[in-house]
Structure 1
Amino acid sequence: MASFSHEPGFCPQCGTILPMLGSEGDVRCYNCKQTFGPEVFSGLECHYVIHFNSPNVYGGSKQKADSADGCVVERMCPNCKNDKMSYATLQLRSADEGQTVFYTCTKCKFKETENS
């Protein structure tokens, strides 16, 4: 078989995607059975930046009145009768059921949920 130009992570002999490095530090192609060193993966370096929320995102410090924790909608707060609430949604139940909507009053921070 002739070699051809290949991308990192693919067999230089047959072009098949390569498995992860083995315990010996080498990789064996499932298709053509050739064995390669770790250099066959050169160029696949990944760099990640993880941004964590600050500690006060979830109420760890006092927030200004009328500040929103998400998108704001016109919805009457049952606690203080304010006409604006922020909301967030999550899929908490099975996939064939609706999502759960979490509302938070922008004034008194009263919270309520609704299953849609």
Structure 2
Amino acid sequence: MEFIRSNAPSFQSDVNFCPRCGAILPTLGHTGGLVCVVCKFEADIETMEELEVKYVIEFNTKSDYIQEQQLKSAQSKTDGPLVERKCPRCGNETMSYASLQLRSADEGQTIFYTCTKCQFKETENS
């Protein structure tokens, strides 16, 4: 199988990146051309200077920030991922869990469950 090398761009990219492979193009100043160190794509520096790059910066709204803080606050009250398990104390259907290997390696792990509502904790040896 023979690969054909072409200097034609494969995709449109930022001027700081190779348009054929996406590697970062080295900055060589204002003389000569640019050569990609990965795929050997050659570009004239004047051609690259004519390209215009536009960036869009989107900021979060205040309500996005408040929702994110509320979510972090709710997650900080849990000890890990959530699972559908009924709390024996309050009957809540959601508990978080964490697992640790407390016994020898040839035995199962210990799972610690925490109720997301009343913070009741229980363990299970698997």
TM range (shorter): 0.3 to 0.5
Structure with the bigger RCO (C-alpha within 8 Å, sep 6+) is 1
- From the two aligned structures, give the one with the greater helix fraction: 2
